[in-house]
Amino acid sequence: MLLQILQDALFAAIAAIGFSAISNPPKRAYFYCALLAAVGHSLRFVLMQAPGIGWHIIVASVVAAFIIGVLAVFLSPKVKTPAETCLFPALLPMIPGIYAYKSFGGLAMSILAIGEESFNHYFYLFAYNGLTCLFILIGMVTGATIPIFLFKNISFRATR
C-alpha cells in the first residue's frame, strides 16, 4: 500500500510539473506545485482506496483540495507568489478530465440512440459523468479557496 501511495505521489508530482508548465508559472513555483500535487493526490488516493475508508471521489477531492489549499497559503509567502500560482497547478492532476469528455460522449450517444432503453442508458452516463465532474470541480475549488478566506492576511500579501 505504501509503495502504491509513493508511486501515486511521484506520478502526480510529474503530472503537476508538466501541466503547470503550460500556464507558465514562475520557475521557483515548480517545486512547490509538485510537492502540493504529490501530497494532495496521494491523500485522495488513500481516502478513496485505503481499506476501512473508501470515500467517494467528490468528498475525497474536497478534503485533498483543502489540505493543498492550507499548504499553499502557508508556502506562498516563502515562494513570493500569490496562493493560486502554486495552488491551481497542484489541483490540475485531480481535474476529472475523463468524466468531462465521457459526459459529452454520453450526450452525443444519447441523441443518436434509438429506443428508450438505449437513450436512458446513455443519458444516465451523461448525467452521472457530468454531475460527478461538476461537483468534483466545485468541491475542489471550494476546498482550496476556504484556506485563502480563513488566512486572508497571509494569502493576499504573499507577493509583498
Partner 1 sequence: MDSTSYSVTSKELCLFLSRYAVFLLGCGATCIRLEKNVRRMAHAFGKDVELTIMPRHVHMTVYGKDKNEMFTSIDTVLHTAISFDINTRLSELSWEVADRKIGFFEAKERFESIISSRSGNRWVVLLLVSLANASFCRLFGGDWVAMLMVGIATLAGFYLKQQLLRRGFDARVTVFFCAFLSSVLGATCALYGWGTTPDIAIGTSVLYLVPGIPFLNSFSDMIYSHYICAFSRFVDALILTGCLSVGLCCGMLLMNIGMF
Contact 147, 72 (CB under 8 A): yes
By CB under 8 A, the count of residues binding partner 1 is 52
What minimum distance in Å lies between the beta carbon of 29 and partner 1? 7
Give the type of residue at 120: N
Neighbours of 160 (CB within 10 A): 6
Task: List the one residue from 48, 63, 100, 113 that touches partner 1 (CB under 8 A).
Answer: 100
Q: How far is CA 109 from CA 41, 83, 127, 149, in A?
A: 32, 41, 12, 42
Within positions 8 to 47, which residues make up the interface with partner 1, using CB under 8 A? 8, 11-12, 14-26, 29, 41
DSSP state at residue 11: H
Cell of 132: 460527478
The interface region with partner 1, picked from 48-56, 67-75, 84-92 by CB under 8 A, is 84-92
Chain residues in the site for partner 1 (CB under 8 A)? 7-8, 11-12, 14-26, 29, 41, 80-82, 84-85, 88-89, 91-93, 95, 97-98, 100-102, 104-106, 108-109, 122, 125, 137-138, 140-142, 145, 156-157, 159-160
